[in-house]
Amino acid sequence: MIELERQYFVLDTTTLTDSETRKKEGYESICEGIDSILELISKARLKLNISCYVPYPTVYNEINDFINRYDCGDEIKAKADTWLVKKTPNRYEVEVPAGIFYEYVDYMRDRINKGMKVAEDAIWEAAISCLHISAEDKTKEEIEMEVKRKEIGQTISDFRDKYRNALRYGILDSAPDIDVLLLAKELDAAVVGADDGIEKWAERLGLRFVRASSFPQMIKEYLRKKKMIDEGER
């Protein structure tokens, strides 16, 4: 039997909860998806010497919140506790190049400016729309209701979509995001997730990145090939 060199993966919460993964793999519910992926992780640990880490407590707590929120049950929670290696990243010892920090600040400034431009456009659109409302035969209350419902309401909805697109792409906007990258850097591990911000900055840090939707198939292929090799040696 061939001994494989140990591989390390650090999982973002989206590794287990990504909707694209569920669609691609045919999982009917988020609980089925979490359970099936944890089953693959357990086989990868026992047969392929692969260890899957999650930052503790940040990502670990997020995963537990999903399990509890969707009533996935104690069995799935036990699988998560068994097969996911919990580790707190050494935030004070992991070295991140100063250039990355500088680049991130510059990137954030650009995104904030784009968000501000979206906000300015929304204000102008709302003001212009309100000017076209006819006040004839309407009470003050009716005009106020029409402004809120037809003009301002739609403008706010459009603004939220545009603002989210302008500001959030490529952004590390939570402590779990940072912890995933720091732990992967500490362990020299691959990052698994569906978050665009994590993917972008994993690349900048020189870390291998695996899309969450590709992770189950990758593990299945490893297992299939390992089985073929082992059977061929008999």
pLDDT digits (tens, 9 = 90+) for 97-113: 878 877 877 877 787 78
> If you ran DSSP here, which 8-state letter would residue 28 be given?
S
- Reply yes or no on whether the pLDDT at 7 is more than 80: yes
Same domain, 153 and 42: no
Helix 30-48 crosses helix 58-69 at what angle (to 10 degrees)? 130
Same domain, 128 and 28: no
- Reply yes or no on whether the pLDDT at 201 is more than 70: yes
In a domain, 115, yes or no: yes
Same domain, 183 and 114: no
Contact partners, residue 155, CB within 8 Å, separation at least 6 = 122, 125, 126, 129
Q: Is the dihedral of CA 209, 212, 213, 216 positive or negative?
A: positive
Same domain, 159 and 192: no
- Reply yes or no on whether the pLDDT at 198 is more than 90: yes
Phi and psi (nearest 5°) for 91? -65, -20
Rounded CA gap, 184 and 10, in Å?
6
Same domain, 108 and 88: no
In a domain, 221, yes or no: yes
What is the reported pTM? 0.78
> Closest Cα partner for 171 from 197, 199, 201, 194?
197
Contact (Cβ atoms closer than 8 angstroms) between residue 86 and residue 41: no
pLDDT-derived band at 191, boundaries 50, 70, 90: very high
In a domain, 22, yes or no: yes
Least confident of 6-20, 100-114, 178-192: 100-114
Percent of the chain with pLDDT over 70: 83
Of 168, 191, 219, which closes a domain?
168
What CATH number is associated with residue 91? 3.40.50.1010
pLDDT at 97: 85
Strands 50-55 and 209-211: unpaired
Of 149, 168, 187, which closes a domain?
168
Number of DSSP helices (H) and strands (E) in the chain, helices first: 11, 5
Query: What is the residue-averaged pLDDT of the chain?
Result: 86
Same domain, 121 and 158: yes
In a domain, 2, yes or no: no
- Domain count along the chain: 2
Same domain, 62 and 112: no
Residue 232 burial (10 A CB sphere; 0-12, 13-18, 19+)? exposed
List the beta bridge partners of residue 210: 192
In a domain, 183, yes or no: yes
In a domain, 160, yes or no: yes
Rounded CA gap, 234 and 217, in Å?
26
Rounded CA gap, 210 and 191, in Å?
6
Same domain, 115 and 202: no
Higher pLDDT, 111 or 225: 225
- Domain extent, residue 114, equals 98-168
- Reply yes or no on whether the pLDDT at 136 is more than 60: no
Of 141, 168, 195, which closes a domain?
168
In a domain, 1, yes or no: no
pLDDT at 106: 81
Contact partners, residue 208, CB within 8 Å, separation at least 6 = 189, 190, 191, 202
